[in-house]
Chain A
Amino acid sequence: MARTKKPENGTSTARSPSPSRASSASPSSPSGEDKPTGPLSIIISPEDREAIKVNNANATELKNACDDAMKRYLSRPELFKQIYLHTDVRLGLGWLSVFVAAGTAFYGYKVEFEKSKPVVWAGLILYILLTTLQTLYAYFIEGDVVYVGKRKTFSRRIVSERITLSSRTVPVERSKPPAYEVSITYVRSTSGGKSLLAKGKTHGVREYNSFFDEEGTMDQERFERWVGELVEQAMEGKSS
């Protein structure tokens, strides 16, 4: 039985938590082999959507809107669960440096200048250290990564999946408008990561003007369809 990619109209199975994938509730039931559900098969009903409108002259805003849409798209129930490691490291280091700065400044304000010097030196050096660590982490370890997600499905055995999405803006080149490039890395394994079931790496480039109109309203369905196709290709183990 072929797996249908086009979902049936009128059924909003998105919000109903159906535990068994083999049931006919989800329109794309995998055939025999346990292939986990891809994002394309779970539909969002139009009423659940909020309109997104951005300043379409600002490439940063366009990229952020696409990134946020992608994160929301993949984090829906039955799909992936986001791993917040990069976010938490940035939050932790960032807030720590803010507190160090505030504490040092407050100490310098309370204590007379000459006496305060050693502590202010220490605070300043600590602040510079934390900021450097943040920058290095963001540049080398986090890089372009926008979303890291995982999922565990239980059919005949425990299948763990891990997906990583990175994105960047391809800048304007002569007459080519700016574009959004996304790379997806996908791994599916079982038995605690020891046996590899599938591994895929895809990437796609699409110009921003195919998702945003002149007013800056985002065509979310079109974007999600494009991302969903790329994700499902990666899930099938294709590499491009």
Chain B
Amino acid sequence: MFTEELKAFRRLGFRHVLLQVLNFASVIASGLMIWKGLGLLTNTESPIVVVLSYWFHGTRFYRGDLLFLTNPASERYHTGDITVYKIPGADIPIVHRVLETHDVSEKVKIPGLVTKYPGDQLLLTKGDNNYVDDIELYQGLDWLERKHIVGKNDFPQLKYALLGILGLLALIQRE
């Protein structure tokens, strides 16, 4: 099966093989770097996520939808923001809306969370399709803190922009 390729490689030499493998590896490397770069720019470890769960199904999002996340460090989260959060101990991140925010006024230690200082935020979320808030999902915690949040979905229009660009590329490229 590989005799054709092996013959060609022996004829063209070692450097040629290295070049070919490099072409392939560079594509992967550039993809990785773009992903990491995007993560640094948006300050979130997962700048693009796919909706897996059923919770938001039937509202604004459907399973398989793309979400573009940002997580600006200095901005406060507001009630109504759509956030993606991850509870340590749970495998999958959850896409829900912020129901309540609580601003800490004095230094306090809440069980399960990092010590809170004035200005820190605590969040409570709820899925649009659910009747109750997410307390049961928090695995014992009463609130979410900022470090649980992966990001918020502030730019739902980006999803359409990306699809538009991909469609345009598919049309423009020959063959």
Assess whether B60 is interfacial by the CB under 8 Å rule.
no
Interface pair A91/B22, CB less than 8 Å apart: yes
B1-35 at interface with A (beta carbon < 8 Å)? 11-12, 15, 18-19, 22, 25-26, 28-30, 32-33, 35
Interface string of A101-127 (1 = CB under 8 A from B): 110110010000110010011011001
Query: How far is the CB of A82 from the nearest CB of chain B, in Å?
Result: 9
Q: Which of A84, A97, A120 contacts B36 (CB 8 A)?
A: A120
Assess whether B142 is interfacial by the CB under 8 Å rule.
no
Interface pair A104/B19, CB less than 8 Å apart: no
Given the contacts A98-B26, A101-B32, A120 and B15 also touching, CB distance less than 8 Å = no
Shortest Cβ distance from B147 into A: residue: A114
Shortest Cβ distance from A113 into B: residue: B45
Interface residues on B, range: 20 to 34
A77 to B160, CA, bound (A): 60
Assess whether B40 is interfacial by the CB under 8 Å rule.
yes
Interface pair A105/B18, CB less than 8 Å apart: no
Summed over the interface, the residue pairs from A and B with CB atoms below 8 Å come to a total of 58
Given the contacts A104-B36, A108-B36, A97 and B15 also touching, CB distance less than 8 Å = no
A101 to B19, CA, bound (A): 17
Interface residues on A, range: 20 to 34
Interface pair B33/A104, CB less than 8 Å apart: yes
Given the contacts A113-B45, A121-B40, A97 and B19 also touching, CB distance less than 8 Å = no
Assess whether A154 is interfacial by the CB under 8 Å rule.
no
Name A residues whose Cβ lies closer than 8 Å to a Cβ of B.
50, 68, 84, 87-88, 90-91, 94-95, 97-98, 101-102, 104-105, 108, 113-114, 117, 120-121, 123-124, 127-128, 131
